[in-house]
């Protein structure tokens, strides 16, 4: 996404007044996160937030970052324990007259079971490509965050499906 889109989205999150989520802004020093994760250290970062949902004790980190240092910004969603990313979102498309984040489930596990993961994701969620309408105001942040939380939860569920079922 372009830098101005990332700034706009970060500002909407920061200025939202949501009753469903707790949003805590993380400290940015000299334009980057400090001691957050080895993949973020030193990279240009617009903003970062810890977003939690107290009613079910789930949370993720939302990081607006120039992931590859090429002026192409990402919204990177980190697991709450910071061990890995749940989604690296960079693509924005206009769909039916509105801007949407577009993200595709592409597992890269090294166990030979990625086809089963993709098939499960598609069967359960209709497609391996997810489209989430970008909020145009702070009033739409709850719906947007709900959808991002669902994306993360569905991704984790699909990644772990091979532990639940024996596909051999």
Place of tokens 């969620």: 125
Residues in the chain: 168
Pick the closest to residue 10 from 58, 64, 76, 50 (CA basis). 64
Task: Give the global pTM.
Answer: 0.92
Tell me the C-alpha distance between 141 and 18, whole Å: 7
Q: Tokens in use for 49?
A: 């937030």
Query: Taking a C-beta distance cutoff of 8 angstroms, is the pair 41, 32 a contact?
Result: yes
pLDDT of residue 166: 62
pLDDT of residue 167: 53
* 3-class DSSP state of 22: strand
pLDDT of residue 138: 87
Query: Taking a C-beta distance cutoff of 8 angstroms, is the pair 149, 60 a contact?
Result: yes
Splitting the chain (168 residues) into consecutive groups of 10 residues, what average pLDDT does each group show? 96 92 96 92 95 94 95 96 94 96 94 92 93 93 96 93 70
Angle among Cα 41, 158, 122 to the nearest 5 degrees reads 115
Indicate the DSSP class of residue 80: T
pLDDT of residue 98: 95
- Count up the domains in the chain and report the number: 1
Range of the domain at 152: 3-164
Pick the closest to residue 18 from 54, 46, 42, 43 (CA basis). 54
């Amino acid at each position: 996404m372009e830098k101005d889109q990332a700034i706009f989205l970060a500002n909407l999150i920061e200025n939202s007044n949501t009753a469903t989520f707790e949003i805590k802004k993380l400290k940015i020093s000299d334009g980057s996160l400090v001691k957050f994760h080895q993949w973020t250290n030193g990279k240009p970062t617009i903003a970062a937030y810890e977003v939690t949902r107290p009613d079910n004790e789930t949370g993720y980190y939302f990081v607006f970052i120039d992931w590859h240092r090429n002026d192409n910004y990402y919204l990177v969603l980190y697991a709450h324990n910071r061990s890995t990313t749940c989604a690296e979102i960079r693509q924005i498309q206009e769909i039916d007259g509105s801007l949407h984040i577009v993200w595709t489930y592409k597992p890269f596990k090294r166990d030979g079971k990625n086809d089963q993961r993709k098939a499960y994701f598609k069967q359960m969620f209709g497609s391996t490509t997810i489209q989430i309408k970008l909020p145009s105001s702070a009033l739409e942040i709850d719906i947007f965050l709900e959808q991002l939380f669902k994306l993360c939860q569905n991704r984790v569920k699909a990644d772990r499906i091979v532990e639940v079922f024996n596909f051999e």
